[in-house]
Structure 1
Amino acid sequence: MNTYIDIGINLTNKQFQNDTDDIVQDAQDADVAKMILTGTSVRNSEESSRIAKQYPGVLYATAGIHPHDAKSFDSQSILKLKNLLLQKHVVSVGECGLDFDRDFSPRNKQEECYKAQLALAIEVQKPLFLHERAAFAKFIGITKDYLPQLPKAAVHCFTGSLEEAKIYLDNGFYLGFTGAISDSKRFGHLKEVVQYVPLDRMMIETDAPFMLPKNVPNSLLKKYHERRCEPAFLPFVAGTVAQFKGIPLSKVAEETTQNAKAFFVI
């Protein structure tokens, strides 16, 4: 039997309100054995940790400040994140990084917040869950200064170019892929990226409720909530990887699951 690990779900999102039990059960029914809740602010990371704690061995959490929320970063933020990261079920620092696409937080504040979380990852020796949009040069420039001491790092929801993917791989990063890879209109270039990235440096995620895979049948969408992405849809991400690489689905399931277990120590 294929089993999967979803390395990034936004279970605190209001689209999932009062729905946690069903979301988790439906995912497990679809062979998604473990899921990691993404923390995007101090408050959100605390909430993700609280939910994950209720499902031991199934749900885990990250603790971090997303670049969109960097404006909330203050003198207490790192201490609060560190306290969360001392818990065993909080497995990664992030989601953190830079987003110069939307600029919801000032760029200098994003950089300050990101650097502080890189230092935190080194201190607590837990892997990084990274976000980068339209900021590749600055992002890689900052990160390289910390690389010699950094634990493992994954660029989540990768939608960049093949050239960017190569640079990430050359620097030891893992890449996380979502349902975006099945969107040939917006992200057609990702087929070449998926074909290039070695399976042992790849993980899969839904980023639910976002990034709905294009290959989810309408019958399943009606069963859930119209356009809402669910962790139960992770096998469709894996299916696209298998199709692009011309390998069995079971191989994708096995390798990405092993990668996630080793990366997050779960």
Structure 2
Amino acid sequence: MSWLKKFTRDKKKQGKDHAVSSDEVLGTSSDGSGEEQIKTRLSIHPQAQVNDESKYFYQFLNNELPDLKRNQLSLSGIDLEHHEKTGMVSVTAFVRTSLEKPVTLGKTTLLLLNPEGERIARKEFDLAELGELPAESSRPWQFDFEKKTIEAKEIPSEDWQLAFELKPKEVPHRLELDENWEKSLAVEEQEKLSAFVQNTEPPKPGEVNFLGLQQAMKQDGSLHVTLLIRNGSQKNISLEQLPLVIEDAKGDVVAKGGFKLGPLSVSSNTSKPWTFIFPKEMVQKTDADFSRWKAYPPQQA
């Protein structure tokens, strides 16, 4: 149980506010926040030990808080204390709800941010300890960030922010075309390729793999292979050199070689088509069975 700090009337609010849709925290689906403005009422936890002077302070501070839109949750920073001996940072904040019904929160990761929005600390809290929050209420609470959860050296005393860590919204895996491809590939073909990428199971999170699109054995003995370079990570990648193996339906190695790409960038969560030309000397099997085939770097064999 986190007990609230006792404040006097001259204490000023030190932190910023952070309001989000309740759906983003609760994982629910509602009709949205709308434009209805909600004034939250002070709610003190039944077991919190708060004297009259501190309660007056919380009531005064709550009256000064901005209205919330309907169906929002908010964290409004009140006080931050850095314990030099232990390294712990204690944050007092209002946990606010503009829902029409009472709500009990669960395990939620909170972030402590500096005035520039950079992360100071990160920790998962069990917000069920706050108890049931009444409809349209504002409950003060203390959050302790132990030293091991703190990432920054500088701890600001004002304009910090306690915020919900929200899961990034899922963005569909999409097609990315190099500038030369955009110029040379007809719009209709671009649309077909884009639809193919969207309808194909995307790579696993963090995975980079290759998907064969088409191949052709030329009269000069070279093999032309067009692949989708699929980046399933949340970071852009840059390929400067790429060794590749082409394998046919029988599992035989058709061609093998390395390519300098100059570098070739592939944005996060995208697939980029690229054509690789294996000269005759890199081709090991001329009568390959391409009814089914695959391409991969040798280390992924």
- TM-score of the alignment, normalized to the shorter chain, above 0.5: no
Kindly indicate whether structure 1 or structure 2 has the higher relative contact order, using CA contacts under 8 Å at least 6 residues apart.
1
Q: TM-score, normalised by structure 1?
A: 0.21
TM-score w.r.t. length of structure 2: 0.19
> Counting strand residues as a fraction of each chain, which structure ranks higher?
2
Larger Rg: 2
